Structure 1
Amino acid sequence: GPYFNLGVGLYTKETRSIREETLRRLSEIYGAEKLAVVTGRNRRLAILAIGGLYKHFNDRASVFIADEIMGGAPPTIQKPSPYGIIKSASDMGVPTLIYVGDSAEDIAMAQNASEFGIRTLFVGVTGLTPNPTRARNMFASLGADVIVESVDSLPFIVEEAKKSAA
């Protein structure tokens, strides 16, 4: 018969993908109200996985797709639908944003959001995947704007980009 894991949920084995210092630096660069979570998970599981770091995110602009669907939204809002990005950008009042992800669905969602007028810079993170080389190649072939091993390098990249643009 089918096998069910009735033990502790797999989310408890996840390692946090971002350091608190990184979130502090991003808050300094953009403002605390400009950091949000967009995930296919429900709020409870996402916050359990993020832990105490969730306090750095704008709760009003965060989107938990599973909760939206449970609340009656159509399943078509799941990734790669740009729904989550569009809703979050609207709640933050921004026409442009950076979306960080680790999957093909994430980059497709970011690209789809751009088609709806939300300019979305996609940052592909390879260090969260079992095969970082394959992830890097996939992100490159799909047209990722930036590819990093760790999201913790994002503040440095943003600061360097600002210097280059000046």
Structure 2
Amino acid sequence: MKADEFDSIIFDCDGVLIDVTKSYDTTINRTISYVLKEIADITVDTPLTNEILLKFKSTGGFNDEIDITYSGILCFIAAKKLNKNPTELIIDVLDNADDSGIAYIENFLNKIDVDIADIKSRLGYPSTDKNDLIHATFDELFFGPELYSKIFQKESKFSEKGFIENDNVIVTSELIEALKKKFNDKIAIVTGRGFNAISSSLKEILNQFNVENSVFLEDESRDLAKPNPQSLIRAMKGLNSKNCLYVGDSMEDMILAQKASELGFQATFCGIYGSGKLPDMKKKLFTKHNVPLILESINQLPDILMIKKA
């Protein structure tokens, strides 16, 4: 890999620009706990361990945290019906998971003869209007009452502050300015977040990116979700990029870049491993899959690309 071979740089957000271990990851567990108590009278404080969260994200089919939430709920209820340890069941489910996401989870549970049709019907997930119990609870907990009301024009059933306030912003204005000079302003974002969620955390830093040619997948239809490469291809076309460096932290991001390249849009994946709770495991995962560029943090990019911070 040569530092001067790329004509643009495109970033994922969560785990790359922002450390989300105390925001999104916490919201996943809090939502699972709330919904399980509401619909199945199951009480559990921390349903998914850090290892299990990473297992979900390592399959390539769970870029959407609410999909992880839904799958966790299904598995806990299935475990109750089977009189099995839920953690052991989830590990069994994920050990050979492919990148089809919630479809794989549902098919696995059906194959082991546990009836989840009633629960699926009650949950109604995913819904096109995102008004199902899981979506609503997740968004209310994540955004908090004030921001939730502003975005959705609805009142939250929770009064506590949103977990989005626990976002730890890693990216700096200085780093983005240096990268903008290197790439002639061809710097954008392709993320599973919606625009409101990312702008709330990045604030004025977001304006330093080419927002017009960025893609915020929470605001798009589900069929565009990662690892569908069309979001990255759209961003590359908008930037008039022939060879981009795509910086992400998950298997979905790696597959996204690979699929874009297979379609003739050259994208090299850079894997970031240092912002999660299990960095060594993520680094090993990237190494196992021969990721061409593996960095602990985006703050190492200037050294790798041989540029100086502004």
Normalising by the smaller structure, the TM-score range is 0.7 to 0.9
Query: How far apart, in 1, do the equivalents of 2:203 and 2:161 lie?
Result: 16
Structure 2 residue aligned with 1:141: 288
Query: Is 1:23 paired with 2:176?
Result: yes
Offset, 1:123: 0.9
Query: Is 1:158 paired with 2:302?
Result: no
Query: How far apart, in 1, do the equivalents of 2:165 and 2:189 lie?
Result: 18
Structure 1 residue aligned with 2:199: 47
Q: TM-score, normalized by length of structure 2? A: 0.47
Offset, 1:48: 1.5
For these two proteins, the number of residue pairs brought into alignment is: 154
**Alignment map for 1:33-72 (pairs within 5 Å):** 34-69=186-221
Deviations 1:13-48 (A, max 9, x none): 11112122111110111112x010111111110111
Q: TM-score, normalized by length of structure 1? A: 0.86
Which structure is higher in RCO with an 8 Å CA cutoff and minimum separation 6? 2
Amino acid at match of 1:25: A
User: Please, which runs of 5 or more residues in structure 1 have no aligned partner?
Assistant: 70-74, 161-166
Query: How far apart, in 2, do the equivalents of 1:40 and 1:152 lie?
Result: 22
Instruction: Give % identity.
Output: 29
Offset, 1:10: 2.5
- Tell which structure's C-alpha radius of gyration is larger: 2
Offset, 1:159: 1.6
Deviations 1:63-115 (A, max 9, x none): 0112122xxxxx22101111111000011111210111111111111111111
Query: How far apart, in 1, do the equivalents of 2:241 and 2:264 lie?
Result: 11
SS of the aligned residue for 1:80 comes to coil
From 256, 260, 264, the counterpart of 1:113 = 260
User: Please, which runs of 5 or more residues in structure 2 have no aligned partner?
Assistant: 1-36, 44-136, 142-157
**RMSD between aligned residues:** 1.6
